[in-house]
């Protein structure tokens, strides 16, 4: 099965995921050997309308390590012709003349889908809107889980935080739902609980889940704790205390010895820095996997062209 644009997690089948992960493993070896020149004829455009550290840097590093080149605008709302009123559709058409693949972070939900509909080259969604998706983050998250837990079947995963606007948690829930005997716990204040579109998808695919406002009694039993970001401004506006959802040494002590703690980063206060030294803290390994996974994804899309 081939895909042209990467817009949402639902596009990936289990065989395609496993194929991508095999390629990702190969990229780890390629990076250790100093990279390759195999993709030197390709140019990647990174068009970011919202700030990013990990996604943009890892995509650009991925392209350079494949031998390709990069054209970039890191603050497209200020430094692209959007300032003059240009529509995304036109911008994408034009960049398609200069680049072979476009990585897009757009401030509106559905931005990547709109771009893909008009693009002559593959478009990769690097995060859309506040409550859209971030499929490449979910792919690297799933690869990390596969590496650390050695399986993707029968896993219990707790997703914690402001889940209604958690693009990464949303995309990951779709992917985890594709595997056998997955059990998902959505742990969030009622006001920030995961949105119904995800639950409808899980119901349709007979995936077991629970939505709860408290982590009590859950974290000691799960294989993966997936903590997500907390938007401080939103917190102040809505006066919601998220402290009980944070991960610290006490929470860690209650967890299984082989469970892992993940976070898409950047973090704020939701994971105590004391947790970093514990081998179960997988979030920095996660960011490193982002490089390999994005190299694999770029080669997969460019090989299809
Ligand atoms: N995880 C993630 O998307 O990080 P950035 O916003 O830094 O890209």
Within 8 A by CB and 6+ apart from 102, the residues are: 44, 45, 46, 47, 92, 95, 96, 115, 119, 121, 122, 123, 124
User: Does ligand 1 have an atom closer than 6 angstroms to the CB of 290?
Assistant: no
Higher pLDDT, 84 or 273: 273
Kindly state the percentage of the chain with pLDDT values over 90: 86
**Ligand 1 binding pocket mutation candidate from 47, 51, 55 (most atoms within 8 A of CB):** 55
Separation of 206 CA from ligand 1 center, angstroms?
31
Task: Identify the pLDDT of residue 1.
Answer: 75
Query: In the predicted model, what is the mean pLDDT of residues 117-134?
Result: 96
User: Does ligand 1 have an atom closer than 6 angstroms to the CB of 54?
Assistant: yes
- What domains can you pick out in the chain, each with its CATH number? 9-134+287-302 (3.40.50.1370), 135-285 (3.40.50.1370)
Task: Identify the pLDDT of residue 234.
Answer: 66
User: Does ligand 1 have an atom closer than 6 angstroms to the CB of 287?
Assistant: no
pLDDT range class, residue 232, cuts 50, 70, 90:
low
The pLDDT of residue 64 is above 80: yes
User: Does ligand 1 have an atom closer than 6 angstroms to the CB of 161?
Assistant: no
Q: Could you tell me the pTM of the whole model?
A: 0.96
The predicted-structure confidence for 130-142, as pLDDT tens digits, reads as follows 889 999 999 999 9
User: Does ligand 1 have an atom closer than 6 angstroms to the CB of 137?
Assistant: yes
Task: Identify the pLDDT of residue 189.
Answer: 87
Let me know if 129 is exposed, middle or buried by CB neighbors in 10 A (0-12, 13-18, 19+): middle
3-state secondary structure of 135: helix
Q: Are strands 69-73 and 183-187 parallel, antiparallel or unpaired?
A: unpaired
pLDDT range class, residue 75, cuts 50, 70, 90:
confident
Taking the CB of residue 28, how many other CB atoms lie within 10 A of it? 17
Cβ(224)–Cβ(157) below 8 Å: yes
Query: In the predicted model, what is the mean pLDDT of residues 273-279?
Result: 97
Higher pLDDT, 239 or 169: 169
Q: Which two tokens stand for residue 71?
A: 């054209």
Instruction: Ligand 1, residue 264: give the atom nearest the CA.
Output: 1
Task: Identify the pLDDT of residue 79.
Answer: 83
Query: In the predicted model, what is the mean pLDDT of residues 13-29?
Result: 98
Task: Identify the pLDDT of residue 60.
Answer: 98
Task: Identify the pLDDT of residue 61.
Answer: 98
Separation of 168 CA from ligand 1 center, angstroms?
9
What DSSP assignment string belongs to 242-291?
-GGG-B-HHHHHHS-TT-EEE--S--SSSB-GGGGGSTTB-HHHHHHHHH
**If phi over 0 gives left and psi between -120 and 50 gives alpha, with beta otherwise, what is residue 297?**
alpha
Paired with 183 in beta bridges are 156, 208
**Long-range pairs for 18-25 at CB < 8 Å and ≥24 separation?**
19/300, 20/139, 20/143, 20/293, 20/296, 20/297, 20/300, 21/143, 21/146, 21/296, 23/296, 23/299, 23/300, 24/143, 24/289, 24/292, 24/293, 24/295, 24/296, 25/292
Separation of 231 CA from ligand 1 center, angstroms?
14
User: Does ligand 1 have an atom closer than 6 angstroms to the CB of 53?
Assistant: yes
Mean residue pLDDT of the chain comes to 95
Task: Identify the pLDDT of residue 249.
Answer: 95
Instruction: Ligand 1, residue 51: give the atom nearest the CA.
Output: 6
The pLDDT of residue 190 is above 70: yes
Cβ(207)–Cβ(177) below 8 Å: yes
Separation of 7 CA from ligand 1 center, angstroms?
16
The pLDDT of residue 233 is above 70: no
Separation of 56 CA from ligand 1 center, angstroms?
8
Cβ(103)–Cβ(62) below 8 Å: no
Query: In the predicted model, what is the mean pLDDT of residues 190-207?
Result: 95
Q: Which two tokens stand for residue 45?
A: 């455009």
Q: Which two tokens stand for residue 304?
A: 């299809």
| 57 phi and psi angles, rounded to 5 deg | -60, -40
Cβ(143)–Cβ(262) below 8 Å: no
The pLDDT of residue 43 is above 80: yes
Query: In the predicted model, what is the mean pLDDT of residues 38-54?
Result: 97
Instruction: Ligand 1, residue 58: give the atom nearest the CA.
Output: 8
């Amino acid at each position: 099965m081939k895909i042209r644009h990467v817009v949402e997690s639902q596009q990936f089948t289990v065989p395609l995921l496993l194929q991508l992960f095999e390629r990702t493993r190969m990229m780890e070896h390629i990076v250790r050997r100093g990279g390759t020149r195999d993709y030197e004829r390709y140019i990647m455009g990174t068009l970011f309308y919202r700030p990013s550290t990990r996604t943009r840097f890892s995509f650009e590093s991925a392209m350079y390590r494949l031998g390709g080149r990069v054209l970039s605008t890191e603050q497209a709302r200020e430094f692209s012709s959007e300032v003059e009123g240009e529509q995304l559709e036109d911008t994408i058409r034009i960049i398609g003349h200069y680049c072979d693949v476009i990585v897009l972070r757009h401030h509106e939900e559905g931005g990547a889908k709109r771009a893909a509909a008009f693009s002559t080259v593959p478009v990769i969604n690097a995060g859309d809107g506040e409550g859209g998706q971030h499929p490449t983050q979910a792919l690297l998250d799933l690869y990390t889980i596969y590496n650390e837990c050695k399986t993707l079947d029968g896993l219990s995963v707790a997703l914690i935080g402001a889940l209604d606007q958690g693009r990464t948690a949303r995309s990951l829930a779709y992917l985890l739902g594709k595997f056998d005997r997955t059990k998902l716990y959505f742990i969030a204040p009622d006001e920030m609980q995961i949105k119904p579109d995800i639950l409808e998808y899980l119901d349709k695919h007979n995936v077991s889940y629970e939505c709860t406002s408290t982590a009590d009694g859950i974290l000691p039993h799960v294989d993966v704790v997936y903590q997500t970001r907390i938007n401080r401004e939103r917190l102040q506006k809505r006066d919601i205390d998220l402290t009980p959802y944070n991960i610290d040494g006490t929470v860690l002590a209650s967890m299984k010895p082989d469970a892992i703690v993940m976070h898409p980063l950047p973090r704020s206060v939701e994971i105590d820095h004391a947790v970093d030294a514990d081998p179960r803290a997988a979030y920095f390994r996660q960011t490193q996997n982002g490089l390999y996974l994005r190299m694999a994804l770029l080669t997969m899309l460019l090989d299809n062209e």
